Each structure stands twice: as structure tokens, then as C-alpha cells.
């Protein structure tokens, strides 16, 4: 398997599983092309042209040759220069590393092509749940067009200096987690907060975390509380804003299912008698990554994975 093959496979699987479906994704890419064609010369120079064929704003080959064969990769949730140095050190110890794979793009300049591309699936998720389309679009657009993060190229520069290929896979992995969440609600029919907590805690990735002192928990609500309608916010790049949670409450949400929360969200949940169930963030991300990487091995053959930075392969 080459880096390019893993990259293209991630886009393929992400598009296959994305709740928007192929027609909406095709329309999204058409809008991006129209926006690009309307730019001046400098605008086109600054434009991330990967957006023209990759609808996921957080999945990129950041450094290195795309033709590199991948026999062993280092995988982590938040990759910084330290993890790249670790990968280089493994080379010295006789375990050559062909790729460093990051999940989150925050510490990596060039890993996040577009906040808009990343968050926009939340419109479809909200409307499918019952939030009116006009309201969902305005709520998500306000977040999508908010302040962009500043670029941090420290990890890029370390990778380039050491000749270490670096890439990010975020949304195509998270959508695996979303699909599993929907499957659980559809087939396992959890009725209480405790039922949902127990299902998540049984995942090998979360078992790994429990061994280290952290499991799934109810940030708001108790184990015996009925779930009501569950909104799995496990895709779309960011947690819902307080305004989005208010809209979900008005649409009948009984439980918000997330990988992180805040006191603002908890306050709204308490006020509206809603539950919040939180899966440990790293293990939840690992669950999605493992689904994607397992499928990549089925397509391309086995490769070695060295876990780091809060990622685990689901073994205690």
C-alpha cells in the first residue's frame, strides 16, 4: 500500500459512509469549484486545490512522497514534533517507519484544508434529526465561518527535516464511529443512560482506557434515566455550539452522545432535562480509525501500526 492509496481509500470510504450521500457531496464539490473559478490570481494561489476533489477538509497528505510504500506507520490522535521524533528514533532501533498518521489536524499546518468542508455534514445530521433546514444551515454556517485557527507548522518542519512522511485522516475515520453509533441505536435499542454507557465501555478501545482510569460517563443525567431520542454527535469536526444544543432540545432530543462536552452544554442539558453521555475522546477516535485501518488492510494487505498519542488498537 502506498501513501496515495491510503489517502484515496480514506476519501472513498468517507464518501461512501457520509450521511449526505453521493448527490449532496457532488453538489458540494461543484460549489467549491465555482468558488475557485471566481478567485483572482492570488486567491487561486492561496486556495487548497485538494478541496476540488476531496470533500473532507481535514484529510491530507501533508509531507512526503505519495508513492512511498507503507509497511509500518506510527498512528496517533494528536501528532506533534515529539511523535515524529519518536518515529525517527524507531528507525534507529531497527523498526523503520514509512508514515506518521495523525487524526486531529490542530497541531499540523496544512492538515486542515477547510473548516467549512469539515463541519458542513452537521447540517444534514441536524435536519435528519428534525431541526428545520433553514435553522440548521444558519447555525452551522455561523460556526463554519467563525475564526480560523492559526497555522502551526512545527510538526511539518520536523517531518520535512527528517524525511518523514506525514498525513492526516479525520472525518473519514469519524464517520465510521457515527455509522456504528447509528447501528447501535437501530439494532441494540439501548433504553437507559446506563445501557448506552455499558455498550461503549465494552469496546476494546474504551477497555484500554478503563484500564488507565477513564471510561464512558454521564456528564448530565444518571444511569437509570431513559435515553429518549439520542443524537450521536460523533461526526462533523466539532462539538455542537450551545445554540445547536438548544435547537436539538426543541427537536425532542433526550440524550446528546458525544466525545467531549463543556459546562455551557451541560447547563443547557440540565435546564432542558436532557442527558449527555461522553465517550473518552481518544478511545472514541481510535474506534473510528481502527475501522478504517482494518478495512484498508482488507483492501491492501497487512501493515504494522505503532500506536502513540492516545490512540490504541483496541487491546488492553
Give the pLDDT confidence score for residue 113 in this predicted structure: 79
What tens digit of pLDDT does each residue of 240-299 get? 999 999 999 999 999 999 999 999 999 999 999 999 999 999 999 999 999 999 999 999
* Mean pLDDT value across residues 92-120: 90
What tens digit of pLDDT does each residue of 158-210 get? 999 999 999 999 999 999 999 999 999 999 999 999 999 999 999 999 999 99
Give the pLDDT confidence score for residue 144 in this predicted structure: 85
Give the pLDDT confidence score for residue 147 in this predicted structure: 61
Give the pLDDT confidence score for residue 114 in this predicted structure: 86
Please name which of 44, 53, 244 lies closest in space to residue 141, comparing C-alpha atoms.
244
Query: C-alpha cell of 82?
Result: 515529539
**pLDDT > 90: percent of the chain:** 90
Give the pLDDT confidence score for residue 152 in this predicted structure: 80
Q: Tell me whether residue 235 is exposed, middle or buried, using C-beta atoms within 10 angstroms of its C-beta: 0 to 12, 13 to 18, 19 or more.
A: buried
| pLDDT above 60 (res 316) | no
User: What dihedral angle (degrees, nearest 10) is formed by the CA atoms of 175, 181, 184, 186?
Assistant: -80
Query: C-alpha cell of 132?
Result: 428545520
Sorting pLDDT into bands at 50, 70 and 90, what band is 106?
confident
Give the pLDDT confidence score for residue 149 in this predicted structure: 61
What tens digit of pLDDT does each residue of 218-254 get? 999 999 999 999 999 999 998 999 999 999 999 999 9
Please name which of 113, 167, 104, 164 lies closest in space to residue 311, comparing C-alpha atoms.
104
Query: What is the pLDDT of the chain when averaged over all its residues?
Result: 95
Residue 5 backbone phi and psi in degrees, to 5: -65, -40
Neighbours of 19 (CB within 10 A): 17
Note the CATH architecture for domain 177-281.
Answer: 3-Layer(aba) Sandwich (3.40)
Neighbours of 199 (CB within 10 A): 17
Distance CA 91, CA 234 (A): 35
* Mean pLDDT value across residues 46-59: 94
**CATH 3.40.1390: which residues of the chain?**
177-281
Amino acid at each position: 500500500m502506498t501513501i496515495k492509496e491510503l489517502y484515496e481509500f480514506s476519501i472513498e470510504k468517507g464518501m461512501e459512509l457520509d450521511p449526505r450521500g453521493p448527490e449532496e457531496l457532488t453538489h458540494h464539490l461543484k460549489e467549491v469549484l465555482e468558488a475557485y473559478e471566481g478567485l483572482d490570481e492570488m486567491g487561486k494561489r492561496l486556495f487548497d486545490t485538494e478541496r476540488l476533489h476531496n470533500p473532507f477538509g481535514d484529510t491530507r497528505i501533508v509531507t512526503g512522497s505519495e508513492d512511498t510504500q507503507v509497511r509500518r506507520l506510527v498512528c496517533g490522535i494528536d501528532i506533534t514534533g515529539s511523535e515524529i521524533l519518536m518515529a525517527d528514533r524507531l528507525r534507529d532501533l531497527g523498526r523503520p517507519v514509512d508514515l506518521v498518521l495523525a487524526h486531529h489536524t490542530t497541531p499540523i499546518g496544512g492538515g486542515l484544508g477547510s473548516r467549512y468542508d469539515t463541519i458542513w455534514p452537521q447540517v444534514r445530521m441536524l435536519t435528519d434529526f428534525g431541526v428545520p433546514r433553514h435553522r440548521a444551515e444558519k447555525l452551522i454556517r455561523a460556526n463554519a465561518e467563525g475564526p480560523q485557527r492559526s497555522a502551526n507548522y512545527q510538526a511539518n518542519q520536523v517531518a520535512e527535516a527528517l524525511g518523514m512522511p506525514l498525513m492526516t485522516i479525520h472525518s473519514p475515520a469519524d464517520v465510521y464511529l457515527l455509522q456504528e453509533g447509528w447501528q447501535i441505536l437501530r439494532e441494540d435499542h439501548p433504553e437507559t443512560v446506563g445501557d448506552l454507557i455499558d455498550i461503549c465501555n465494552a469496546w476494546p478501545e474504551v477497555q484500554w482506557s478503563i484500564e488507565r482510569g477513564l471510561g464512558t460517563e454521564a456528564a448530565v443525567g444518571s444511569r437509570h434515566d431513559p435515553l429518549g431520542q439520542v443524537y450521536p454527535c460523533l461526526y462533523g469536526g466539532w462539538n455542537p455550539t450551545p445554540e445547536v444544543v438548544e435547537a436539538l432540545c426543541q427537536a425532542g432530543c433526550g440524550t446528546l452522545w458525544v466525545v467531549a462536552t463543556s459546562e455551557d452544554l451541560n447547563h443547557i442539558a440540565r435546564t432542558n432535562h436532557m442527558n449527555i453521555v461522553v465517550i473518552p475522546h481518544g478511545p472514541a477516535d481510535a474506534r473510528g480509525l481502527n475501522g478504517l485501518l482494518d478495512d484498508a488492510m482488507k483492501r491492501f494487505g497487512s501493515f504494522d501500526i505503532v500506536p502513540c498519542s492516545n490512540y490504541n488498537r483496541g487491546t488492553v
